[in-house]
């Protein structure tokens, strides 16, 4: 399912990324994602709200960039918004451009879940949108992105999953600043990273989250 581009979809193999939060001043300040197969940088993300520069996004917006710094997605908060609604645009957002997707917290009462709506493009023959569901808790780094059935007889499908990073050799579970993003075959890895940016903005590292049970579960699986 190519959303940002076919080059970010592997039709046969799951793509695994190690995602590292590179700044801690506020949610979304920076991420770097590395491909498990090559070890190389696959994506990075920055906010330009405090004059970071780069030209890929306006002040206050988040930009998902490729390894060479090419803009892939631009994410911004929709205002006014009562339920933390965010919008994503293809490439470097231009004036008048329609959003590619929108996202919001699944409940105004809190929690790590969210709903992501993939909006139809002007060139699409299908006027309907696609609703993706994020189950679980992003602050705990334990959630998955679920796509509903797209045809008769199909079942819902997990297209991406976020889990705690485990150092198998040392039998150590990494902190929440480093986690794993698993992208199912055929799903767009760049779009999956765009969802990570939105989840970080919506849920962030919510105060009071106790990840102890998640750590024990991860250790048990080593």
Query: 8 in a domain, yes or no?
Result: no
d(CA 111, CA 105): 8
Query: 33 in a domain, yes or no?
Result: yes
Q: What is the number of domains present in the chain? A: 1
| pLDDT at residue 97 in the model | 85
Name 144's bridge partners.
135, 161
| pLDDT at residue 82 in the model | 60
d(CA 170, CA 73): 36
Query: 56 in a domain, yes or no?
Result: yes
| pLDDT at residue 100 in the model | 94
**Closest of 143, 138, 215 to residue 172, by C-alpha:** 215
Query: 5 in a domain, yes or no?
Result: no
**Closest of 197, 107, 182, 105 to residue 142, by C-alpha:** 182
Contact 196, 31 (CB under 8 A): yes
pLDDT tens for the 222 residues of the chain, in order: 789 999 999 999 999 999 998 865 454 468 999 999 999 999 999 875 544 444 445 656 889 999 999 999 999 888 765 667 899 999 987 777 899 999 988 765 555 578 999 988 655 545 578 899 999 999 999 999 999 887 778 889 999 999 999 877 767 788 888 999 999 999 999 999 999 999 988 876 554 455 455 554 544 454
What's 113's domain CATH number? 2.40.160.200
Query: 158 in a domain, yes or no?
Result: yes
* pTM of structure: 0.83
d(CA 147, CA 155): 9
Contact 159, 174 (CB under 8 A): no
Query: 2 in a domain, yes or no?
Result: no
Name 43's bridge partners.
33
Q: For residue 85, what are the domain limits?
A: 13-220
């Amino acid at each position: 399912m190519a959303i940002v581009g076919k080059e970010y979809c592997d039709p046969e193999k799951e793509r695994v990324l190690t995602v590292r939060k590179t700044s801690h001043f506020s949610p979304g300040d920076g991420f770097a994602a590395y491909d498990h197969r090559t070890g190389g940088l696959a994506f990075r993300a920055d906010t330009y709200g405090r004059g970071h520069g780069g030209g890929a996004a306006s002040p206050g917006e988040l930009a998902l960039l490729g390894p060479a710094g090419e803009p892939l997605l631009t994410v911004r908060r929709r205002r006014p918004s009562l339920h933390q609604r965010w919008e994503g645009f293809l490439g470097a957002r231009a004036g008048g451009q329609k959003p590619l997707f929108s996202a919001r917290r699944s409940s105004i009462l809190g929690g790590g879940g969210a709903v992501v709506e993939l909006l139809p493009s002007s060139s699409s023959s299908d006027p309907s949108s696609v609703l993706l569901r994020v189950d679980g808790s992003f602050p705990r780094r334990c959630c998955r992105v679920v796509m509903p059935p797209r045809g008769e007889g199909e079942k819902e499908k997990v297209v991406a999953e976020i889990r705690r990073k485990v150092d198998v050799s040392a039998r150590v579970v990494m902190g929440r600043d480093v986690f794993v993003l698993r992208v199912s075959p055929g799903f767009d890895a760049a779009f999956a990273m765009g969802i990570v940016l939105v989840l970080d903005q919506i849920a962030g590292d919510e105060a009071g989250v106790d990840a102890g049970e998640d750590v024990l579960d991860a250790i048990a699986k080593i």
